[in-house]
Structure 1
Amino acid sequence: MIFRDYKFQIVFRLGILTLLGYGLLYYTFIDVNYIRVFFLGIFSLIVLIALFYYLIRVHKLTSSFLDAILNNDFTVKYPEQHENKSIKQLFRKFNLVNERFSQSIQEQANQYQYLLALINQLKIAVVAFDARERVHVVNSAFKELVNEKEVIRMSSLKSLSPHLYKEVISLEPNQQKVVKAVIGNTTHQFSVAASIFKLRQKQYTLVSMQDIHSELDQNEMQAWQKLIRVLTHEIMNSVAPVVSLSGSLESIVQSTNTNSFEENKKTLLEGMDAIKVRSQGLMNFTQAYRKLTRVPAPNLKEVEVSKFLQPIETLFRQSLTETDIKFTVQANGNANLLLDPDLMQQVLINLLKNAQEAVKSTNGEIRLTYNSQPDGQTTLIVSDNGTGIPEEIADQIFIPFYTTKTEGSGIGLSLAKQIIQQHGGQLTFETSNNGTSFYIKL
């Protein structure tokens, strides 16, 4: 509407100038009348000045409005009561644009304040900085960590702990690690994670830091308590019968004379044999403990998935087929894996044996699957359709020496998890009444 009025004003004035121009030509060269030429010339000059003034005025108003926008000044109010209808409508649109911009800026400011309030409530230290290590966003937890009211640059963290600063600055995108740092006279352990984002063609690094020292201490204490409880149980199971039996044999020997020796000889031999069996069991237990605490470092090699899985498939297919258990190996892709083939095959063999023992029905099925994700993460899955792991023991299956088997050592899953962790991966599981799946994520 504005542009139509504006265009009308211009066309109207140009139309008058055109008519006046024709009149000047007519009375100058055809019907010569210098008086009329004089007055038409005056009128043409007035109309031309009015047109020029109108164009200059609209240009100045528009230029002033655009300058205010470029300077982020949206507080200017233009008078909407004006004798010129076009200028009036132009002012109304200017005010509407300013109002929309003001609302948008206010909404952005509200969202920013909401974001700051949100991250300030976090107990995790959060900081965002640019390539020059200039801090743009920081929460209260980070300020408390570096003990500064205002954090301008990442050098504040460097003053607190050069080692922690170095680890944070060197973090790769989407990387997470645990960093140990000494602050004052206290040792802290921080879980540190980083991500990268771009804003207005500039790259920023967002880092979160959480002191998990107390949580790690608590988890470590709980792990030791569980381990000591299992060790005590296993040792007492072996030592108590030996002590009791030794006392009984001692009583028999003390009460035995030459005449009754042959009668008690059988009892003595049986007792000593029982002591030997329990002692051997205790020796096996300590050897298993030694094996658990001396897992060799992985000798990483790049191996092809199909070649890596082939020996395991050959090893288990015959024995599982004989027990009417369907065994399926599926590799979704044939990428190369960086791992220790011997250690990783030991893990898979252990998981497959557990799956074999869990499947008891004639319709038993075990699957070994390999999946590759677009982000580069690979997953090996061992699944069965057994009865699943009981809920009451599910959180204890990775505890060393914990077992529900009569002849099990209880180190299989614990050893497997330790090997996977040495590869920088994770060993997790899902279980239900319809079966169990173990996931090796590398």
Structure 2
Amino acid sequence: MKNQKLYNGLFARVLLIMIFFFGCLFLIGKGFYYNAVLAGLFGIVLLVELYFYIKNQFSFYDKILLSILRNDFSANFPEENKKNNFRNLYLLYDTLKFQKQEQTSKELIYRSILDNIDTAALILEKEDEDWNIFMMNDCFSDLFKVPKVSHWKYLKNYLPSLCDEIEKVGFTDIKSAISIKIEDQDLQTFVLQTSQTQTYDKEYFIILLDSIQRVIEKKEKEAWINLMKIISHELMNSLTPIRALSQNLLQIVDQEKLEEEDFDDIKSSISTIINRSDHLQVFVENYRKLAMLPTPNKQMTPINALFDDCLRIMNPILKDENIELINEIKSSRSILIDKNQMEQVIINLITNSIYALKEKTDKKMFLSSYTDNNRFFIVISDNGKGIDPIIKDKVFLPFFTTRKDGAGIGLTLSKNIIEAHGGYLSCQTDEDKTDFVICLI
């Protein structure tokens, strides 16, 4: 119905041309040649008008279809075309134009996000068998002093080491460290991470690079901020009541005459000040343990001897708590460690597991060890309450604890000791089991 006017217009014009054409033949047959010529001229005029009418209609079709094919939505069309014969076609054009504008807006937002992150990002787009640069963020361009080139072969002229590394593995997923020389500077080490993705008939390759030094600095800054928050919290918790009580004492002793109850207030205030001072002293001592950890005095130590000594200390506590110990450590090998420091780590981890098993009825603790890629692993596990995912990233922070009587340095100290040995301490937890894994190189 919407194109009815178009069909009616064509039909009327064709009908008029046919009437004049047959009328012309009829007049010739009757011998009215002058009238026949006149009718023929009118028919020719109508035929020419029909030609231009159809041409105008198809011209609009061509123009709007070319705009869609070329992805160019800047053209403006007459209002009558939007309402009459080409309503559906213009509706398609308008819909695609809106989608294009929406897509452009999203691309600008995505590009803005990429340009404002601290990680160097490069996105490649595959065309035939060649890779072209689809997007390069400002961080990548600034960090490596590279102009925003459009082809992979041009990028190779600026960063041959990076391009050779990616080509060597055939544009597959990578997660590793890479050394890159930037202009005349020394080699710098970066964390390289790549991934492939495909959308319809397009294939993309994403490259992310981050300076290891910047990652370390960021982690160090976060660690310092967290540590300062904890220290400030502890100091204020003690200094605030000490100051308040000191002011109260000053007011009492300034009185001309002291009553008996004033002496009770003085004793109570002094007792509280001593308690808070003791707390501060313990806090400082614990901090000194973390900050002044001695260098490990490493000696070859049998694994069995290490655990026998630790369990000799902890077995009475395990029995009192009705904890079933499943010891699967049967290694006869020796490792190069500071035995006293490593005993402290194992006792800390076993104590941590004992606390986690407090609310369980069926209490089990597991000790195991294994070797993988020339690294020795010790695993201390329990089937306790586990670690809440909310606090999982905080368990190794200094002075962080969920225990009322805890100092919050056990896991931090253990982690520092293992790292001083050149290894690492990690934690894995699920609903049924929590593992603390010691890795020693």
Normalising by structure 2, we get a TM-score of 0.55
Q: Deviations over 1:220-267 (max 9, x none)?
A: 21111111111111111111111111122222222351xx34331121
Q: Following TM superposition, by how much is the alpha carbon of 1:426 offset from its aligned partner in structure 2, in angstroms?
A: 1.5
Q: Following TM superposition, by how much is the alpha carbon of 1:117 offset from its aligned partner in structure 2, in angstroms?
A: 5.1
User: 1 CA distance for matches of 2:434 and 2:162?
Assistant: 51
Q: Deviations over 1:81-133 (max 9, x none)?
A: xxxxxxxxxxxxxxxxxxxxxxxxxxxxxxxx99995999999x9xxxxxxxx
User: 2 CA distance for matches of 1:327 and 1:120?
Assistant: 58
User: 2 CA distance for matches of 1:228 and 1:185?
Assistant: 35
Q: Which residue in 2 is equivalent to 1:240?
A: 240
SS at match of 2:335: strand
Kept in 1, the 8 Å contact 2:161–2:180? The answer is: no
Q: Which residue among 312, 326, 329 is the counterpart of 1:328?
A: 326
Kept in 2, the 8 Å contact 1:321–1:327? The answer is: no
User: 1 CA distance for matches of 2:248 and 2:319?
Assistant: 50
User: 1 CA distance for matches of 2:128 and 2:302?
Assistant: 50
Q: Which residue in 2 is equivalent to 1:220?
A: 220
1:293 corresponds to 2:291: yes
Q: Following TM superposition, by how much is the alpha carbon of 1:333 offset from its aligned partner in structure 2, in angstroms?
A: 3.3
Q: Deviations over 1:291-327 (max 9, x none)?
A: 1011111122222221221111222222211221111
Alpha-carbon distance change, 370 to 279 in structure 1, aligned in 2, over 3 angstroms = same
The AA in structure 2 aligned to 1:401 is F
Q: Which residue in 2 is equivalent to 1:165?
A: none
User: 1 CA distance for matches of 2:227 and 2:311?
Assistant: 34
SS at match of 1:391: coil
Q: Which residue in 1 is equivalent to 2:362?
A: 363
Alpha-carbon distance change, 267 to 415 in structure 1, aligned in 2, over 3 angstroms = same
User: 2 CA distance for matches of 1:368 and 1:398?
Assistant: 21
Normalising by structure 1, we get a TM-score of 0.55
Alpha-carbon distance change, 377 to 241 in structure 1, aligned in 2, over 3 angstroms = same
User: 1 CA distance for matches of 2:180 and 2:414?
Assistant: 26
User: 2 CA distance for matches of 1:321 and 1:366?
Assistant: 12
Q: Following TM superposition, by how much is the alpha carbon of 1:372 offset from its aligned partner in structure 2, in angstroms?
A: 2.0
Q: Which residue among 278, 281, 284 is the counterpart of 2:282?
A: 284
Kept in 1, the 8 Å contact 2:191–2:211? The answer is: yes
Q: Following TM superposition, by how much is the alpha carbon of 1:187 offset from its aligned partner in structure 2, in angstroms?
A: 9.9
Alpha-carbon distance change, 245 to 345 in structure 1, aligned in 2, over 3 angstroms = same
Q: Which residue in 2 is equivalent to 1:431?
A: 429
Structure 1 vs Structure 2 CA RMSD: 4.0
Q: Which residue in 1 is equivalent to 2:382?
A: 384
User: 1 CA distance for matches of 2:350 and 2:309?
Assistant: 13
Q: Following TM superposition, by how much is the alpha carbon of 1:330 offset from its aligned partner in structure 2, in angstroms?
A: 1.4
User: 2 CA distance for matches of 1:287 and 1:180?
Assistant: 44
Q: Percent identity?
A: 29
Q: Which residue in 2 is equivalent to 1:305?
A: 303
SS at match of 2:300: strand
Kept in 2, the 8 Å contact 1:366–1:385? The answer is: yes
Alpha-carbon distance change, 248 to 390 in structure 1, aligned in 2, over 3 angstroms = same
1:372 corresponds to 2:371: yes
Kept in 2, the 8 Å contact 1:298–1:422? The answer is: yes
The AA in structure 2 aligned to 1:403 is T
Q: Following TM superposition, by how much is the alpha carbon of 1:407 offset from its aligned partner in structure 2, in angstroms?
A: 2.1
User: How many correspondences in the alignment?
Assistant: 278
Kept in 2, the 8 Å contact 1:333–1:372? The answer is: no
User: 1 CA distance for matches of 2:271 and 2:412?
Assistant: 32
User: 2 CA distance for matches of 1:222 and 1:386?
Assistant: 30
User: 1 CA distance for matches of 2:180 and 2:237?
Assistant: 40
Q: Which residue among 341, 346, 350 is the counterpart of 1:352?
A: 350
Alpha-carbon distance change, 380 to 179 in structure 1, aligned in 2, over 3 angstroms = farther
Q: Following TM superposition, by how much is the alpha carbon of 1:211 offset from its aligned partner in structure 2, in angstroms?
A: 2.6
The AA in structure 1 aligned to 2:288 is R
The AA in structure 1 aligned to 2:401 is T
The AA in structure 1 aligned to 2:392 is A
User: 1 CA distance for matches of 2:187 and 2:406?
Assistant: 40
User: 2 CA distance for matches of 1:180 and 1:149?
Assistant: 10
Q: Deviations over 1:37-76 (max 9, x none)?
A: xxxxxxxxxxxxxxxxxxxxxxxxxxxxxxxxxxxxxxxx
Alpha-carbon distance change, 191 to 343 in structure 1, aligned in 2, over 3 angstroms = farther
User: 2 CA distance for matches of 1:317 and 1:353?
Assistant: 11
SS at match of 2:349: helix
User: 1 CA distance for matches of 2:156 and 2:340?
Assistant: 45
The AA in structure 1 aligned to 2:366 is R
User: 2 CA distance for matches of 1:339 and 1:142?
Assistant: 47
Kept in 2, the 8 Å contact 1:122–1:141? The answer is: no
Structure 1, unmatched stretches of 5+, are 1-112, 126-137, 152-175, 194-207
